[in-house]
Amino acid sequence: MGHTRNQLTVKAINSLPQGTHGDGGGLYIRITGKANGQWIYRFRYNGRQRQMGLGGLHKVTLAKARQLRDKYQAMVVDGLDPIRQRKKESDLRLVGLETLATVADIAFVARQAELRDDGKAGRWFSPLTLHVLPALGKRPIIEISQTDIQHTLKPIWHAKADTARKAINRLQIVFKHAVAMGLDVDIQAVEKAKALLGKQRHQPTNIPSMPWSEVPAFYASLDQQTPVQLALRLLMLNPGPRSKPVRFLRLEHIEDDVWTVPADLMKGQKGKTSDWRTPLTDESLSIIEAAKPFERNGYLFPNRSGNGVISDASMSRLMERRGLNFRPHGFRSSFRTWAAETAQLRDIAELCLAHKIYGKVEAAYVRTDYLNERAALAQLWSEHITSECVEKLVIERPSSETRPRKKYEYLTEEEKLSSSIRRTRVKRKF
């Protein structure tokens, strides 16, 4: 690299032979033909010799080339990599790709195929919309640092811990997507921000659930034939499908005494969730029969306008109006605690809640959903819920003279599981 600067002239350049000629200060012109050439700036950075193109001779004048040389030479003096700095400048000039808000939109669209209803409910994007984008959305994403993220999320980091956790997780996805787009972002900025924010003080609490011994009395109090009360009763009897499958229940989901919940109504990642079969007891079938007169547009539990289904909050509000602190989702816990304290089989109880009980390898070989066993447990739970005496925990095997053979046929003698509880295995007719 020559030390004498500005050695070339415009007139001299026009008569230079093919080859590389220096102007000084690291600026060179590589002549490739008559009136054709390429400006080059050579520099040493971190002990390595590097070079970068500054443009062609027909577009970049000698004066402009010297300006660029001086600009990038100043960066080297300041310890910056001119090639990287120029790439940042180029990224900022990319229309529609420079701001955090725009990159977040692009990342969201790329993930829509994995989200329920293509993410239309807004749950994936809302933490960013409410708590990140108002402060950082218009900023170039390559300029956003860990301190920017820290200052933005600090007000909710402890006060709204779950929301803050979702917001920072979504932000990490957006930054990774920016890297995939070729933007020169700091991929570690989000993790650094988490370190600056520290451990959250918030202690998560479980959804309030009604003690299982109190469930029968509450169930008996639901004595009105309304869509909300009927839906809540069906949810209590069948805790596995959760609220959404109950609210969106259609008659075509039911065949005989089996309710098949479509995969898109089950909780789980889109494309990785299967249809779920739920055995229905006589009590559940009677509720479905009572709901048929309310059917609108195929749904058994329509809202008042008839244009949709009852809301997710309608059952919760019913319980709130009665002064209860419990929530409909908590009946899953009521059922599971009852199953544990009455010594029901753990795996069957977990499957009744549609929980996964096997790893990937074991699940590849165990190809049953234990419908028969779950039907027996659902019957015991139904008998508990509908019983007037909540202390009645011994389920005696009915005699053939007193029980109907409409849906179940007992095959074996009851197996005693504890000193106070008996279970019965059943075989279903299809």
pLDDT digits (tens, 9 = 90+) for 244-266: 888 999 988 988 889 888 877 77
Q: What count of residues does the chain have? A: 430
> What per-residue string of b and e applies to 111-128 under the rule 16 or more CB within 10 Å gives b?
beeebbeebeeeebbebb
Tell which residue, 292, 287, 278, 282, has the closest CA to residue 406: 282
Which one, of 332, 382, 331, 328, lies nearest residue 352 by Cα? Answer: 332
The pTM of the full predicted model, rounded to 2 decimals, is: 0.56
Name the amino acid, one letter, at 398: P
Kindly indicate the confidence band of residue 272, based on its pLDDT and cuts at 50, 70 and 90.
low
Residue 39's pLDDT band (boundaries 50, 70, 90)? very high
Task: Give CA–CA dist 385/17, Å, rounded.
Answer: 97
Q: Are 396 and 358 in contact (CB under 8 A)?
A: no
Q: What is the pLDDT of residues 342-366, one digit of tens each?
A: 988 888 888 888 887 777 777 767 7
pLDDT more than 70, % of the chain: 83
pLDDT of residue 117: 63
| Structure tokens belonging to residue 276 | 């779920």
Answer with the residue of higher pLDDT: 93 or 248.
248
What is the percentage of the chain residues whose pLDDT exceeds 90? 34
Q: Report pLDDT digits (tens) over 164-214.
A: 999 999 999 999 999 888 888 888 999 999 999 998 886 666 778 888 989
Residue 206: per-residue pLDDT: 72
Please give the average per-residue pLDDT across 300-304, as a whole number.
89
Q: What one-character-per-residue DSSP string does 179-239 give?
A: HHTT----TTHHHHHHHHH-S------PPP---GGGHHHHHHH--S--HHHHHHHHHHH--
- Domains of the chain with bracketed CATH: 10-82 (3.30.160.390), 100-197 (1.10.150), 212-428 (1.10.443.10)
Banded model confidence at residue 52, pLDDT cuts 50, 70, 90 = very high
Angle at Cα 18 formed by Cα 14 and Cα 23, nearest 5°? Answer: 65
Mean pLDDT, all residues of the chain: 81
